[in-house]
Structure 1
Amino acid sequence: MTTIIDEETRSAVSPRTSAVGPRAFDALSSDPRKREAYRLDTYAREGLDLFRSPGDRAWLYATTFVVLKPDAFAGRRCGLILDILAEEGWLPIAARPLRFDPLLTREIWRYQFNAASAQRIAVVDHLLGAGPSLLVLLRDTRREPGLPASVRLTAAKGSADPGAAHGRDLRTRFGRVNGLFNFVHTADEPADVVRELRLFGYRTGSSWLRTALGATVAQPDGPCPARSLLPELEREVPAHDLDLTESLRRLAARGDTWGELARLHATPQRVALWLEALEDTELPGGAARWDVLSVLTGWIECNEPGVAPLLATVSATDWRNNG
């Protein structure tokens, strides 16, 4: 005998696990695994509330963001980065300082940190916590039809790994130093813009974020919303060459733990000793902090061999093939 179960009864027997509709992220991600994962992600769900109307969705295709990280401020790359982005058609429409802490770092990279090495995890909080970051919303003035601003920027940015770099990728032009001193973070595609802006909104304030979503590109002769913030933020971070060899030389002159390490253990094969010291020795202040970070970021392995991130980076090809 066939039993007919009405929809209300079916829901009672098998309750839904998501309040987000099954097609909510279809137009925002080319990755079916991400579409499903983000239906279960609190930040992605909250982020959708910022982008409900057709006009809001159009915003997600025309606009993205870049985060200038503390290493960009230490290396005095921020002005250069904004110059290069403008040359390639990404113009700032709003900007707001923010600060990373361990929780924000792990939530932003929730779907990638499973592949991060223990060495990278040990260092990244010291790096991202070493100074301010700057969230900059960018309007794409050279959009390729069907290709969202975030996807075009991801494709142009290039890999965080210098070994996978090519001469014209943006990170090479920014002067990328190593896998962690790569200066910028961007969202891969519109679904990530939705999720990550919700996360960053906890730091920038929701009212600022809602106002920023309606901002327009500044006039050529007007103040740039990002550049006007750089002088004050740069005063918080000492200028540094981010040079590993020079950092070792400077550290070797110190009379503390870091000086002893620089004198006696100045090879990548001894990085474990440096990481042990990092667990129970306070980093020095000022420029010496960036000396230690230059050594550590230059010597560590960033990823666990053979471990893939939960969600891989999407490509412009993925979007074109799904278009």
Structure 2
Amino acid sequence: MATLDWSALTRSQTKRKLYARETYFREGLSDAEEVLAERLPAALRDGALLMLKPDGLAAGRLIPVLDYLGEHGFTVTAAREFRFQPFHWRELWRYQLTSATLDRLAVNELLLGAGPALLLLLRSESGHPLPGTVRLSTLKGSATLEAQRPGTLRALLGQPNRVLSYVHVADEPADLLRELGLLVDAADRRALLDSLAGGAPTAEDQATLDRARERFAAPSRSLALADVLDRVTRAVEAAGPGRAADAARHRLARMARGERVEWRPFLADLAAAGAHPDRWDLAALGTYVIEYDEPGHPKMLTNPDPQSWVSAPQPHVSAGGQSRQRENV
């Protein structure tokens, strides 16, 4: 990779080592350098990325998210409807999923493929000591309910558990570039990058956002545990008698008592019984009853302290990856 100033991209040394040899990040950075040229430093400083996940749209959280963003000085510069494929989400959370159980992977497979997502590129109002990505990540708050602080976005949205977190954001400028490299093709990526330094959204992007506002203005389904458990139970009852159906009923009874269950064997029981619950109900149910993480296997990446951006000198990044402060990669 060309010589560049990593201080414009991340405050994490671990992330720097991981991303330096990763194709998604390198393609995103290369396109950003070509498309934005001298506009790159300001775009990286002020740009941000937020995605309403399928569960966030289904729960009717789009308008509260847009209101929150506006109240905190973010404007939408581009909007894209997005459909997760398995490789998208596995690669997106590659360095976090080291701690995920295989049951959680199976639940994610159901959940993220159950409906559309909405990708929003944003611009933060100027004058803040933090880059837009870092500021938005701080405002987002923790996915863990017990760690959420009042006033953060996730606390406002009222997510029911750690997996149904409704939104995803790029945590640093390096993540924004990597995720654009992963989630969109080259032509669309270059258009999105240009929007980071542009003005108002294009007519097409505004139309996408307006359609989403109308379509997802209210919840389209209940994701509450009692509701999804009831609907999955009725689907199993409709399958009739049999050993596999009995095994599925036994696990459902354990879920009703608040117990966690092994998820993949439960899916196998459903298939063998010929039971076909609604995909959304099945996915949502899993988020309440699985073990999330393997003990003793922490994430490879955690977010750096936002204050490390406040105290660090302002970086300068120019086209071609050259900078005033240079480090070989």
Q: TM-score range by the shorter chain?
A: 0.7 to 0.9
CA distance in 2, matches of 1:78, 1:281: 33
Higher relative contact order (CA 8 A, sep 6+): 2
The correspondence of residues 1-323 of structure 1 with structure 2, limited to 5 A, is 19-21=1-3, 23-52=4-33, 53-141=37-125, 143-145=127-129, 147-202=130-185, 205-206=188-189, 208-217=191-200, 224=206, 227-230=209-212, 234=216, 239-254=220-235, 255-256=238-239, 260=249, 264-265=253-254, 266-272=256-262, 274-279=263-268, 281=270, 284=276, 288-323=278-313
Structure 2: gaps spanning 5 or more residues:
240-244, 314-329
Q: 8 Å contact 1:151–1:315 — kept in the other structure?
A: no
Superposed CA offset, 1:287-317 (max 9, x none): x332222221012232222322112122312
CA distance in 2, matches of 1:197, 1:208: 11
Aligned residues between the structures: 296
Superposed CA offset, 1:257-302 (max 9, x none): 5983675332343521x431325746846xx332222221012232
Counterpart position of 1:15: none
Which one-letter code corresponds to 2:212 in the other structure?
L
Residue 198 of structure 2 aligns to a residue in which SS?
coil
Q: 8 Å contact 2:99–2:297 — kept in the other structure?
A: yes
Superposed CA offset, 1:72-125 (max 9, x none): 121111111111111111111110111111111111112211122222112111
Distance 1:210 1:165, change over 3 A: closer
CA distance in 1, matches of 2:104, 2:127: 35
Structure 1: gaps spanning 5 or more residues:
1-18
CA distance in 2, matches of 1:216, 1:310: 37
Which one-letter code corresponds to 1:189 in the other structure?
E
Residue 176 of structure 2 aligns to a residue in which SS?
helix
RMSD of Structure 2 on Structure 1 (CA):
2.9
Q: 8 Å contact 1:93–1:215 — kept in the other structure?
A: yes
Q: 8 Å contact 2:78–2:122 — kept in the other structure?
A: yes
Distance 1:231 1:150, change over 3 A: closer
Aligned-pair distance for 1:40? Answer: 0.9
Distance 1:191 1:280, change over 3 A: farther
Which one-letter code corresponds to 2:59 in the other structure?
G
User: What TM-score does the superposition give when structure 2 sets the normalisation length?
Assistant: 0.80
Share of identical aligned residues, percent? 35
Distance 1:80 1:91, change over 3 A: same
CA distance in 1, matches of 2:193, 2:128: 26
Distance 1:320 1:304, change over 3 A: farther
User: What TM-score does the superposition give when structure 1 sets the normalisation length?
Assistant: 0.81
Which one-letter code corresponds to 2:132 in the other structure?
A
